């Protein structure tokens, strides 16, 4: 995956003094929302709402994926492609897990929405959907933060996203995913050698669309190509943050032209990403979700949280680290086992109920590279006993031992995770939400009771 970033001139000059322009970390972290479910908000859980949006004399079908929590949420409008076979529901769900509302629509005449499908109608529908998100009644009903509304689109939806943002100067930004420059299709339609194949390509996508045909859509492209010029739109929205993602085996050449048009218009915050995949991102779904959520982090840093990046392997022992303070009794924890050398206690943000940490009370080893074989042997012996107690006391089928060094390590004091496992349930190695102290203590009591000498 290749990623480019263009900023304003002043920022470019400053960045250039410290690092090469368009540089990025070798391995960008995967946001937590891509791979892990958030804790359920009991008072205001995540939800879905189905409704219709008025546009062009009809009401098109729409859906809102509502993020949990009672505060106003940043919101993303997701516009589908032509005809929209790839719905990108996984992307929308990941964005919701990141704390965003996500709204989608079906353009008039598509996938059961009333009316006749056309490119002009779809443009109006995208603009109407964005206006719907700005209606004060809807802002209150769906807990929308109107200052942080981003419009995203895949394929034809990329064009529609750019159009909607260009029509709304208050839109915060745009995401164009392997966008289709519809107007450029005119060249193939007016070329006698290419017209038949171009019409067939249009025709193959019309079954889910009402009131149209390949010939009608071709005529619309031929007669209104200037209005369907995505390069021109890319220049018009270059005053706001824009993310362009191209698929190397599909629309990447188009994406590069769109990015060039934005840069020519003095783009203030353009990010380009190119992935080695097809138009549907069939084998790059996680990469796609991660890229989108990282980019959305500029509007809501918490949404792009990627968990613990790691700590240096070599450094002096920090006597103020949390585990050192726990050993000294400065921080109370729910204990399941303790002797003069080893302490086992409950993780405050468990990967699974009953997640236990085992640490040495006598060794100041920061990681596995520093601990003596004798101290490690004592830790592992207690970890095994804890695992057996989890099986016996919690009724689980097994347990997993995890020990991180540097990458993935959150506290610079060697510790062993003992995590109960339920057969068939995957274990996500990410930073989890804090658990309820009462629930954690209740589970700890069951493990303590099952601990064997």
Could you tell me where the beta strands, DSSP code E, fall in 267-390? 269-275, 335-338, 342-346, 356-360
Distance CA 345, CA 335 (A): 4
Q: Are strands 73-79 and 144-154 parallel, antiparallel or unpaired?
A: parallel
Paired with 247 in beta bridges are 275
Structure tokens at 39: 């804790």
Q: Are strands 242-247 and 173-177 parallel, antiparallel or unpaired?
A: parallel
373-394 vs 437-450: helix crossing angle, rounded to 10: 100
Write down the pLDDT at residue 39. Answer: 83
Residue 275 has φ and ψ, to the nearest 5°, of -120, 145
Helix (H) or strand (E) holding 51: strand 47-55
Paired with 341 in beta bridges are none
Q: Could you list the mean pLDDT of each consecutive 10-residue stretch along the chain, which spans 453 residues?
A: 52 33 49 87 96 98 97 98 97 97 98 98 98 98 98 98 97 98 97 97 97 98 98 97 98 98 95 96 96 95 72 93 96 96 95 96 96 97 97 96 90 96 80 84 97 84
CATH 1.20.1050.10 at 322-450, yes or no: no
CB 74 within 8 A of CB 100: yes
Write down the pLDDT at residue 14. Answer: 33
Write down the pLDDT at residue 4. Answer: 64
Write down the pLDDT at residue 441. Answer: 96
Write down the pLDDT at residue 23. Answer: 36
3-class SS at 228? Answer: helix
Q: Is 413 tagged catalytic?
A: no
Q: How is domain 2-181+229-304 classified at the architecture level of CATH? A: 3-Layer(aba) Sandwich (3.40)
Where does CATH 3.30.428.10 sit in the chain?
Answer: 322-450
Write down the pLDDT at residue 427. Answer: 79
Distance CA 27, CA 308 (A): 14
Q: Structure pTM?
A: 0.73
Where does CATH 3.40.50.1820 sit in the chain?
Answer: 2-181+229-304
Sheet holding 335-338, edge to edge: 335-338, 342-346, 356-360, 415-421, 398-402
SS3 content of the chain, % helix, strand, coil (to 5): 35, 20, 40
Q: Is the dihedral of CA 242, 247, 250, 255 positive or negative?
A: positive
Write down the pLDDT at residue 307. Answer: 60
Write down the pLDDT at residue 25. Answer: 38
Catalytic-role residue among 80, 154, 415, 417: 415
Write down the pLDDT at residue 408. Answer: 80
Q: Which residue from 223, 138, 132, 140 is spatially nearest to 182, judged by alpha carbons?
A: 223
Number of helices and strands (H, E) in the chain? 15, 14
Write down the pLDDT at residue 30. Answer: 83
């Amino acid at each position: 995956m290749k990623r480019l970033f263009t900023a304003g001139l002043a920022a470019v000059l400053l960045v250039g003094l410290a690092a090469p322009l368009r540089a990025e970390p070798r391995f960008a972290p995967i946001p937590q929302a891509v791979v892990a479910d958030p804790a359920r908000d009991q008072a205001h859980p995540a939800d879905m709402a189905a409704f219709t949006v008025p546009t062009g004399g009809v009401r098109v079908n729409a859906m809102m994926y509502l993020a949990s929590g009672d505060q106003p949420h940043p919101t993303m409008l997701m516009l589908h492609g032509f005809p929209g076979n790839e719905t990108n529901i996984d992307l929308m769900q990941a964005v919701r897990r990141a704390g965003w509302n996500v709204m989608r629509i079906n353009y008039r005449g598509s996938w059961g929405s009333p009316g006749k499908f056309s490119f002009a109608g779809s443009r109006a529908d995208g603009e109407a959907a964005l206006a719907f998100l700005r209606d004060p009644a809807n802002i209150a009903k769906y807990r929308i933060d109107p200052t942080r509304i981003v419009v995203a689109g895949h394929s034809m939806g990329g064009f529609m996203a750019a159009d909607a943002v260009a029509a709304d100067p208050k839109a915060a930004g745009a995401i164009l995913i392997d966008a289709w420059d519809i107007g450029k299709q005119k060249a193939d339609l007016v070329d006698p050698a290419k017209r038949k194949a171009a019409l067939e390509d249009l025709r193959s996508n019309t079954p889910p669309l009402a009131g149209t045909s390949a010939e009608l859509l071709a005529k619309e492209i031929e007669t209104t190509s200037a209005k369907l010029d995505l390069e021109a739109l890319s220049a018009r929205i270059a005053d706001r943050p824009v993310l362009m993602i191209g698929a190397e085996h599909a629309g990447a050449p188009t994406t590069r032209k769109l990015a060039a048009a934005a840069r020519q218009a003095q783009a203030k915050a353009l990010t380009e990403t190119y992935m080695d995949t097809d138009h549907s991102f069939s084998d790059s779904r996680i990469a796609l979700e991660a890229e989108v959520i990282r980019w959305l982090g500029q509007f809501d840093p918490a949404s792009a949280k990627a968990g613990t990046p790691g700590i240096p392997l070599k450094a002096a022992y920090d006597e103020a680290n949390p585990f050192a303070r726990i050993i000294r009794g400065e921080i109370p924890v729910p204990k399941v086992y303790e002797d003069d050398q080893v302490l086992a206690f409950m993780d405050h943000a468990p990967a699974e109920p009953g997640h236990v940490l085992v640490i040495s009370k006598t060794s100041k080893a920061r990681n596995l590279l520093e601990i003596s074989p004798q101290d490690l042997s004592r830790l592992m012996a207690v970890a095994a006993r804890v695992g057996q107690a989890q099986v016996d006391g919690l009724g689980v089928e097994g347990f997993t031992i995890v020990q991180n060094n540097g990458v993935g390590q959150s506290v610079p004091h060697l510790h062993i995770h003992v995590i109960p496992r339920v057969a068939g349930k995957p274990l996500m190695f990410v930073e989890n939400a804090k658990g309820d102290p009462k629930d954690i203590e209740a589970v700890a009591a069951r493990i303590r009771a099952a601990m064997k000498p």
